[in-house]
């Protein structure tokens, strides 16, 4: 019998509206609407037992093949190689006829197929698919696979591939130039808005800035497609600004002030507040678990992960160490500098795997005018090479609210580290 042997997944599928009717249509089964009752299970069972689901009509198979070829033909060659059964689909579409036999008339001049840079496995699948076709040749040149029926076809494929690469590079250059111009236009639009507010507003660093980070763009070209940004807003303490930055490959919170001593004290207060919150959470967890023996064993185990308290101590020490290294020319009792020069402290999270750099890093921003519309900066990230931010240009007086400083604590680092392996 049909129904008693159905799986749970099959039962759920049958209960979905339209499932039975779609199966009947796919197999070309005609029926009277009066036969269809409920969700159609009775009709489905009846036609199954009659053998009407044994084969799919040839017209349906032909349509499926036609749609499949249209889908393959509409995909970029590089994307196709990097998709599921794409390598086989590519070879079938460009070098075989509808019956699956070799067809030298379909693509007589061969193909230059871009290979995915991140996967030698996908390239090997393409090589394997090509090897299944008698007489079909292939030659790999860098990140391109040339496929043709003879040496002449290989040469033509190479020439076509080089022309396509030049065209793609030119198109990418035009897009990059358009993005750069768009960002410039947004900044200039903001500057024009200041003209109408002249004498009516007090300018401040608070607002949204678009960042130019040439080092990151060169190392991670995909970041050219996103708006790297810094959002600055007032904190609850006079002279201190909070901020959130996003440079595509990393993001995080930042604190700023023209007074280095005040900034350092504010960071210590933030770290202490974060530690207090973590201690409260630990206490609540201990009360809930009532497992003092296990907690004691973990505490005495030298191999156990560092505690949140140790993380804060490390972060504070690192912050002071890095701050002293970068500001060695200042006295211990530093005074507020120019109102355009801001000391910074920031933490970061790598956006790929989510690794947190919980140690506060020092840097600075220097605004170029008292409208705070443009700044240069010295900001570094541990996993990048060299300075991160070259230039910041303001596009709005309103900065978004980002994540809190305590979201980047030592405990948060440890949680994220463990979570990556779950």
Taking only the tens place, the pLDDT of each residue in 251-288 is: 999 999 999 999 999 999 998 886 655 555 555 555 55
Residue 161 belongs to what H/E stretch? helix 151-195
Of 54-63, 144-153, 403-412, give the range with the top mean pLDDT.
Answer: 144-153
Backbone torsions φ then ψ of 314, nearest 5 degrees: -60, -45
What is the C-alpha radius of gyration for the chain, rounded to an integer number of angstroms? 32
Give the pLDDT score at 189. Answer: 95
For residues 139-165, average pLDDT: 94
For residues 39-59, average pLDDT: 87
Whether the Cβ atoms of residue 26 and residue 60 lie closer than 8 Å to each other: yes
Pairing of strands 391-396, 250-257: unpaired
Question: Quick check: 218 pLDDT over 70?
Answer: yes
What's the pLDDT tens digit per position in 167-177?
A: 989 998 999 89
What's the pLDDT tens digit per position in 359-387?
A: 999 999 999 999 999 999 888 877 666 66
Give the pLDDT score at 72. Answer: 84
The pLDDT-based confidence of 221 (bands split at 50, 70, 90) is confident
Question: Quick check: 153 pLDDT over 70?
Answer: yes
Supply 269's token pair.
């207060």
Calculated CA dihedral for residues 81, 86, 87, 91, nearest 10 degrees:
-120
How many CB atoms sit inside 10 A of residue 169's CB?
10
For residues 396-405, average pLDDT: 89
Any idea where the domains of the chain sit in the sequence?
A: 3-55, 73-162, 204-419
């Amino acid at each position: 019998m049909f129904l008693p042997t159905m799986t749970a997944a099959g039962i759920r599928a049958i209960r979905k509206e339209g499932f039975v009717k779609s199966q009947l249509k796919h197999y070309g089964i005609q029926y009277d609407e009066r036969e269809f009752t409920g969700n159609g299970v009775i009709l489905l069972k009846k036609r199954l037992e009659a053998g009407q689901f044994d084969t799919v009509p040839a017209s349906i198979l032909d349509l499926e093949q036609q749609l499949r070829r249209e889908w393959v033909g509409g995909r970029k060659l590089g994307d196709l190689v990097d998709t599921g059964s794409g390598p086989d689909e590519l070879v079938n579409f460009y070098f075989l006829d509808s019956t699956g036999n070799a067809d030298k008339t379909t693509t007589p001049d061969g193909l230059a197929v871009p290979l995915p840079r991140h996967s030698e496995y996908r390239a090997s699948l393409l090589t394997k698919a090509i090897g299944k076709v008698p007489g079909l040749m292939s030659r790999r040149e860098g990140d391109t696979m040339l496929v043709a029926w003879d040496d002449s076809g290989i040469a033509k494929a190479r020439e076509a591939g080089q022309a396509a690469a030049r065209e793609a590079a030119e198109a990418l250059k035009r897009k990059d130039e358009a993005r750069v111009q768009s960002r410039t236009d947004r900044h200039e639009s903001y500057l024009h808005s200041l003209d109408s507010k002249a004498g009516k507003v007090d300018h401040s660093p608070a607002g949204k800035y678009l960042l130019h980070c040439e080092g990151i763009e060169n190392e991670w070209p995909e970041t050219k497609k996103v708006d790297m940004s810094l959002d600055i807003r007032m904190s609850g303490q006079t002279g201190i600004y909070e901020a959130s930055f996003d440079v595509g490959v990393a993001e995080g919170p930042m604190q700023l002030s023209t007074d280095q001593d005040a900034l350092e004290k504010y960071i210590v207060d933030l770290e202490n507040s974060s530690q207090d919150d973590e201690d409260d959470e630990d206490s609540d967890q201990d009360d809930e678990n009532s497992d003092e023996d296990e907690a004691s064993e973990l505490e005495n185990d030298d191999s156990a992960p560092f505690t949140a308290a140790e993380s804060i101590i490390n972060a504070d020490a690192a912050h002071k160490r890095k701050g002293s290294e970068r500001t060695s020319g200042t006295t211990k009792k530093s005074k507020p500098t120019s109102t355009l020069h801001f000391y910074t402290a920031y933490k970061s999270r790598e956006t790929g795997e989510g690794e947190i750099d919980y140690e506060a890093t020092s840097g600075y921003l220097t605004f170029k005018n008292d409208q705070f519309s443009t700044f240069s900066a010295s900001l570094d990230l541990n996993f990048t090479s060299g300075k991160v931010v070259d230039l910041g240009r303001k596009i709005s007086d309103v900065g978004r609210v980002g994540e809190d400083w305590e979201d980047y604590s030592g405990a948060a680092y440890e949680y994220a580290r463990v979570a990556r392996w779950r």
